[in-house]
Structures are given as structure tokens and as C-alpha cells.
Amino acid sequence: AQPVLRLEYEPPAFLAKDVDLTVELDDTSKISCKVEYERQREGADLVLNGERKPAQMEIQSVLINGESLDADAYQVDDETMTIPSAALPVKVGEKISVQIDVTVVPEKNTSLNGLYKSSGNFCTQMEAEGFRNMMYFVDRPDNMSIYRTKVIASKSVPHLLSNGNDVERGDLPDGRHFVLWEDPWPKPCYLFALVGGDFDVLTDSFTTCSGKEVRLGIFVEKGNLSKTPHAMDCLKRAFKWDEERFDREYDLSQFNIVAVSDFTMGAMENKSLNIFNSKYVLADNDTATDTDFLNIEGIIGHEYFHNWSGNRVTCRDWFQLTLKEGLTVFRDQEFSSDLNSRASKRIADVQLLRDHQFKEDAGPMAHPIRPDAYEAIDNFYSLTVYEKGAEIIRMIQTIVTPEGFRKGLNLYFERHDGQAVTCDDFVKAMEDANEVDLSLFRDTWYTQAGTPEVSVKTSYNAEAAELTLTVEQSCPATPGQAEKEPFDIPLAVGLVGTSSNGPLRFKVGAADAEEVDSAVLRVTKAKQEFTLHGVSEKPVPSLLRGFSAPVKLSCSELTRRDLVFLAAHDTDSFVRYESGQELAKQILTELVEKAASGVEADALDHEDAPLLLSSLEHTLRDASLDRALVSLALAMPNESAMADAMEKGTANVDHISSACAALRRLIAEGLGPLFAETYEATREPAKNESPGDAVARRQLKNSCLRYLVKNSALREDALRKAVHQFEAPENMTDRYGAVLAVRDIDCSERTRLLQDFFDMYKSDKLVVQKWFRVQAQSALPSTVDAMKSIMDMPEVFDIKNPNCCYAVFNAFAGGNFTGFHAADGSGYTFVADRIIQIDDINPQVASRLAKQFSSWRSFTAPWSTKMHAELERIAAKKDLSKDVAEIVHKSLE
């Protein structure tokens, strides 16, 4: 497909001011849309977006000012309807009414984009470009309109919902009923939503800071009411948090959430009618893990926060997507951090970024957070736009301070309320509210792709009590960007003293500056020096505190002992964690080299393993630590992270797998008794334990259990522990944790737990998806066969359901390194077959899966050649969707 280019933006020739929709829900649904279009450009034709497929849209009639337009008076092709200017006799600034009637078949719409059916209920997903699957319209985010929507259906469809307020409802003479909705806030069509179905409903209310009462509703498929209270609590917390932290009040008298089983993404922020993947709404102790509960909180918050960052102020065009997504991810991260453990949330977010976004930034799909071109916009709902985008916002907050950030955000909302704007407008508001110049920051982070590499050297002058940091930065080339300008990087640093084992105070810049124990250095040049004064002893530097910028940091003079020291003594919890990870990574890198030199997997050992073990032991024994952080420290860099860290074309799957397995074994064997002791100490709830502490305790307990089963001497006992934990769990975290612990071991306990798990939960789709996931991620050689058996279970597996695909195919391709990269290519072939199969059903799901092949250049042969061959096979598929085509072609370029 021809790429769309950011710099070719032109405002629309016609704006839809008022939209009057009537939707008659049925097998073949009739949709009538009367729009007041205001001309913006003299002489321009009215070009409407519309696609016949995937919902079989058929035009019934076109009326201009109430007069029927003959079919030969307008043109229709695969993507547009063009009404010639001559048929639209209005001047610039004047309005003309255009009414289009179509029919669509929601059941046929397996793309889940537009109007479709899920478990018998009607629902919509319009972002980014779904509205055009239901109506010919100016489908772009800078076209903002007031919507009135009349939904009509038979009474077997009792709940009829849309955006805004329900202003009228009643019965029709033919026995059907209707509800009329009016949304007073102008919005682009990607925020339009419509639902018709038979649901169970939880209602509640929230009183806003100015005393307005908001009715809240959560609509779920029948039988799920008991799994809604957590989501409702989260929703009310989100309302309150946004008032307190960012002065944002809700702006309508009702707010509804609908949970559906078939949904491509996590959820969608449609104005006052959020639609969710049921995975991110439904939870109770028996069926949801602690992580599920936290994810629900984050996503309910995220969608609610979009009401301001996205809906009241939206994007001018889709290149600006990070304007709403990066900002809203940042807001949901802060929400979760304020409500739970900030330190472990930060580490989890950094893990996600480094494990997945760094990979994207180093591969063929690398793009700036504000891309310059796209073929299929849905491919750009990426980790870069979302997660790296949130890091860019976080850096702005670091630069202007949290208080300045709040001021800047208030100015942004005030200045642009009701508008569709750009990332530049956002940065400008931050600059104006804080009187700072962010031009270098803006011109690097928003325009350049790739992960900057920052290296630091220090030199200490005892006499002058000065520490000089020499900082260098560079950024590897990415597609279309060979050379990069130096970024504007806020580098947070602290110093730790070895005589006190504690923070040292210092001064930045001048000897008479204020004394601090942490500072943010602004690195803006390729090479730059910073001098810290008043440094009373030779310190160990604590660099990139809190992961203050999305970069790869190295400091070659930090010895392994320094890393162990930081892991034990730094006051910054991120650097503590990071130092342990860095040590493990260095050891793993050398284990990979040993494996390459022919050492057998079982014989792999490392002279610094004892150092790592003593560091982990120190962490495990430190009673003052948050147990969630202890558990995070125990997780070693995985195979895929190691492959990413290697030079392109050098990753050998066998060597990496052996090295990672060896390190896990060394830890499991070296700390066996301590894991057993810690497991006992964390098995039962403590007195007066807070819910957050309980989550952290269970996290640590399950980490220990996973190591215990890897210890050959303790395995038998560990398997008994797993079975017991499965049978008498505190909640699903424990039951699922037990299954996870036995996942990779071919033993009777594994067979039994998997069977019991299925028997207990076979009627619960979301839990069965967990059962899929465990099997898809198993390191056992039978995994591809297990996935094929799952596909043969029509009562639980449906390839049209995205969650099923994610829990089996994406879980395998993205989370089962040894299985996906099996040397015989069986993993690749299995996944490529699925991409080809799913492409005809749901291109967005297929495209997400196809992204797993884009790392092929990282590997040595035979892996690289086999992945490449599968990419060629996918590329050759007839009628390949533009979503998958874009990924595959860019990967092959």
C-alpha cells in the first residue's frame, strides 16, 4: 500500500458539524446517517471514507438536502465515495445536509473493527479507522462532531447504549424498542460507540469534586455479575485520582463500561461508553491472579483518563497518536504507582520497555514516537508510541518538576479543550507554563527512532573532593535514519559511599551550589563533562536513577563488586535492581561464550556465580525490603533479552538457551535451602498484612517455588509443595503459580495439575485461556502438539477470538524462546501457518503475530534463514492484508 505521510497533512475540505444516526440492529442492520457538512475549501469534492468489506456494507441511498442523488452522480471505489463539488452548492463556511443509508452484516465482521457481534451482543470498535466499515464518512480525528444516535432493536436486545446521555426511550409500533442518545461534546468518529445486547449490570455512582452525581454502569455477559465489583472500585478510584492529582473532573452524568469476549485490544475509551476486553474487567479471587487485578486497575484507569487526554483534547492526525497514548500511559502508570508500590511498578514498566520496546526500536519496524509514515495505522499502536511515549512524558515531568508538569498539563487542557492538536502543541504548553525551552528535547525524542546508548566514565580527585563524569551518547541507525543528532537526556545520578554504605551528598556545577543527594544532569551533546563538588570520598556512582531516560547505559569501570555493592546499598530501588540485573547479564554473556566454545549445558559454570548468589542471598535475607522487589531481583534476564543484547546476526539460540538454563540451575542449586526457607516464611498470610503486602508475599512465594522445582535435590519435595499449593491456594495467584512451577517438567504432577485445572475451570473462558498459555509456553518438546490439540477443542478454543490467539500463538511466539526457535523450524512453521490463517479473519491479530518474525536478522543460521523463509511464505499469500504486508515487507527489506 502507498504510505501516508505526516508532512502531507491537509485540513479536511468538509467538516461534519452535526451527525444524526439511526441504527436498526439486526442480522442485516440498517444505518442511516444524516450529517451537516460545513465546507472548508472552495471547489473541493466531498470525499468520504467507506469500505464494503469486512461487514458487507451496501449503499441504499444518498440524499443531498433531502433530494435523492442518482447512483451515477457520485463515485464509489474500494475505499471512498466521492460526491462532486458541483452537487454540493455551498460556499466556504456554509453547511449542507448529506444523508447516507447503508446496510451492514455485523455477524460477518470477523475483523472486530467497526460494528460486529460478540457472544450474540452487538458492539463497535472504531479506532483508528473502523467507522468507515459502518458508514461513508470523513473518518479522521480532526473531524469533530456532535452526535445524536437512535438505536433500535427487537426487545430480545434489552440494552441499547451509545455515547452521552439517554434522552428518550420507548416502544415502536412494530414491537421493537429504541433509545435516543445525545452527546453534547464534539468528538471524532473514532470515539463513537454503540452497544446492543442482553447483559448483567452493576450500577453505582460517584459524586465529583464540584458535587455532580455521575451514574456508573458496568455491563457484562450474563452470569458474570459477581466478577464486576473490583472493576467498579477501580473506576471510582480513577475518577477521584484524576481530580486530586491532575484537577480533572468528569463531564457527563453517566459513565458506562461494557465488557465483551471478542476484542482485539485491551479496551477502548469511547466517550462515556468504554468498551473492554472482558479480560480487563472480570475478576474474583477464585479466577483472577494478583497481576490480573492490577492490570484491570491500570486499564480501567487508562481508559477513564483518556476522557481528558484523548477525548476532550484529541489528535489532529494519527501521526500524533502518542499525544494521547504516551500521555495516558504515563497517567495510568502514575495512578497505579500512587495506589500500590511505586518502586515495583517502575521496575515492571522498565522491564516491559526493555524486553519489548527496545527490540522494536532495534528492528525493521523502528519508528519515532511520532512516526513519519505508515501503511496500516493499526500497526503503530506500538510499544514505541505507548511505552516509549510514556517515558518521553516522564522525562518532561523530570525536567519541569512534578509541580511544573501539573501546571503545564492544566494549561494544555485549558488551551486546547475541544480541539484536535499535535505533539508540538503539548510541548508548547509545557514550555509556556514553565518558561523553559524544550526545543532540543522535542526535536530529538519526537523525531528520532532508536535507543540511545549512553556511556559514563568517572574520575575522582580526592584533593579537590571532585568527581568528574564524562558522558558520551550515540544512537544506532534505524530504517530511514542513518545519522542521529544527540538527544536531550535527563540523567539522574547519586553517589554511594563505601565507608558509610550510604548516600553521599554533593554539589553540581559550582562549589557553592546547594548540597543534594541526587541530581539530574542534562546531557545534550555527543560528549560532555559534569563536575560534582564536595564529594568527600571516592564514591560508587548510582547512574540513571529511576531509569530517568529510555537509554542503554554502560559504565565500564563499575566492577562486579561495585554492582553487588549497589544492589545492596543504593537508596534508589531501580538502581539496586538494575545492578543485580547487570551482573547477571555479564555472567550470562560469558556463559553464552562458553557454550559457544563447546562446553555442554550441564557443565556450564562461572567463577563469578558465587558473587551473584551472595548478592541474591543478601537481598533475600534483607527483611527491610519490599518483597515484590526481592521477587523482581530473583528474575534473571531471559533468553530473548540476551538475544537482543547481542550483535546483529550473532545470536545462537542453542548457546543462549544453554546459558540461561545454566544460570537458573546455578541459582536454584546454590540457594536451594534459602528458597525452601523463604517459601515457608511466605506461605501463609501474616497478621495485619495489607493487601499490597499480601500481593508481594505471594509473588515472592511463587518465585521461590519455581526455583525449588529446578533444584534436583529438592525437586520431589517441591512438587509436593506445588500440588499442595494448587489444592489449598490463597487465590488464583497460587493455583496458577503452582501450574506455572511444573510447566517445564515432564512429570505426573504436571499432568495431574493441568487436568484438574481444566476440569475446574472449563466453563470459564478467561481461565481456560490461562490453561492455554501455560501449555504454549512450556519448554517441553511436545508444545507444538499441545497447541494443535488445543486448536482441536472447539468447545473452548475459537480462532476468531483474539484472546484465544494471544494465549496460544502469541504466548508461544513471544514467550517461548526455545519452542518458537526450535532448530528444526517447527515453531516457525506453526506460527507462520497461523498468521496466514488469521489474516483472513482479523488482520490486526495476524499482524501482531507477524511482528514476532521481524527479529530474524538477530540470529545466526539456521534460525535466521528459516525465519526468513517463513516471512517469504507469508508475503506470498494471496490477498495479504495491508497490516501484515507492511510488517512482512519491512522485515524483508
Which residues contact ligand B3K by CB under 6 A? 127-128, 265, 267-269, 302-303, 306, 325, 378, 381
Q: Which residues contact 889 (CB under 8 A, 6 or more apart)?
A: 875
Q: Which is nearer to ligand B3K, 12 or 266 (CB)?
A: 266
CB atoms within 10 A of CB 413: 17
How near is the Cβ of 321 to ligand B3K at its closest, in Å? 9
**Residue of 127, 221, 303, 334 with catalytic role:** 303
With CB under 5 A, what is the number of residues at the site for Zn ion? 2
Q: What is the DSSP string of 597-620?
A: TT--GGG---TTHHHHHHHHHHHH
* Residue number, nearest CB to ligand B3K: 127
Give CA–CA dist 653/635, Å, rounded.
Answer: 20
* Residue whose grid cell is 452535526: 18
Q: Which residues contact 175 (CB under 8 A, 6 or more apart)?
A: 154, 155
How near is the Cβ of 538 to ligand B3K at its closest, in Å? 47
Q: Which is nearer to ligand B3K, 387 or 562 (CB)?
A: 387
- Scanning 201-209, 321-329, 719-727, 861-869 for contacts with Zn ion by CB under 5 A, the matching segment is 321-329
Nearest Cα to Cα of residue 12 among 417, 306, 426, 420: 420
H/E/C letters for each residue in 546-561? HHCCCCEEECCCCCHH
Angle between helices 691-709 and 732-742 (to 10 degrees): 20
Distances (CA, A) of 443 to 242, 398, 474: 30, 18, 16
265 binds, among ligand B3K, Zn ion, none (CB under 5 to 8 A by kind): ligand B3K
Q: Which is nearer to Zn ion, 277 or 778 (CB)?
A: 277
Give CA–CA dist 189/270, Å, rounded.
Answer: 9
- Scanning 95-103, 291-299, 322-330, 656-664 for contacts with Zn ion by CB under 5 A, the matching segment is 322-330
Q: Which is nearer to ligand B3K, 390 or 504 (CB)?
A: 390
Extract the C-alpha cell encoding 75.
463515485
CB atoms within 10 A of CB 417: 11
How near is the Cβ of 318 to ligand B3K at its closest, in Å? 10
Q: Which is nearer to ligand B3K, 329 or 553 (CB)?
A: 329
Give CA–CA dist 771/811, Å, rounded.
Answer: 11
How near is the Cβ of 265 to ligand B3K at its closest, in Å? 5
594 binds, among Zn ion, ligand B3K, none (CB under 5 to 8 A by kind): none
Are the C-beta atoms of residues 485 and 443 closer than 8 Å to each other?
A: yes
Are the C-beta atoms of residues 267 and 276 closer than 8 Å to each other?
A: yes
Q: Which is nearer to Zn ion, 24 or 325 (CB)?
A: 325
856 binds, among ligand B3K, Zn ion, none (CB under 5 to 8 A by kind): none
How near is the Cβ of 392 to ligand B3K at its closest, in Å? 16
CB atoms within 10 A of CB 61: 12
Helices (H), 597-690: 609-621, 627-634, 639-645, 653-670, 672-682
Q: Which is nearer to ligand B3K, 137 or 757 (CB)?
A: 137
Q: Is 303 a catalytic residue?
A: yes
Residue 186: phi and psi, rounded to 5, are -65, 140
Q: What is the distance of C-alpha 781 from the center of its chain?
A: 30
268 binds, among Zn ion, ligand B3K, none (CB under 5 to 8 A by kind): ligand B3K
H/E/C letters for each residue in 123-136? EEECCCCCHHHCCC
Are the C-beta atoms of residues 881 and 888 closer than 8 Å to each other?
A: no
Give CA–CA dist 234/735, Å, rounded.
Answer: 24
128 binds, among ligand B3K, Zn ion, none (CB under 5 to 8 A by kind): ligand B3K
Q: Which is nearer to ligand B3K, 315 or 799 (CB)?
A: 315
Nearest Cα to Cα of residue 389 among 306, 474, 320: 320
How near is the Cβ of 314 to Zn ion at its closest, in Å? 12
Distances (CA, A) of 193 to 109, 125, 126, 547: 16, 7, 7, 38
Give CA–CA dist 395/669, Å, rounded.
Answer: 41
Q: Which is nearer to Zn ion, 381 or 809 (CB)?
A: 381
How near is the Cβ of 378 to ligand B3K at its closest, in Å? 4
Q: Residue 486: is the preceding peptide bond cis (ω within 30°)?
A: no
How near is the Cβ of 181 to ligand B3K at its closest, in Å? 21
Helix/strand/coil percentages in the chain, nearest 5: 45, 20, 35
Q: Which is nearer to Zn ion, 264 or 328 (CB)?
A: 328
Q: Which is nearer to Zn ion, 360 or 639 (CB)?
A: 360
Site string for Zn ion, 324-353 (x = CB under 5 A): -x--x-------------------------
How near is the Cβ of 843 to Zn ion at its closest, in Å? 20
Site string for Zn ion, 55-84 (x = CB under 5 A): ------------------------------
How near is the Cβ of 326 to Zn ion at its closest, in Å? 9
How near is the Cβ of 845 to ligand B3K at its closest, in Å? 11
CB atoms within 10 A of CB 558: 20
Determine which helix (DSSP H) or strand (DSSP E) holds 540, and give its type and residue range.
strand 540-543
Catalytic residues, by residue number, are: 303
**Binding stretches for Zn ion (CB under 5 A):** 325, 328
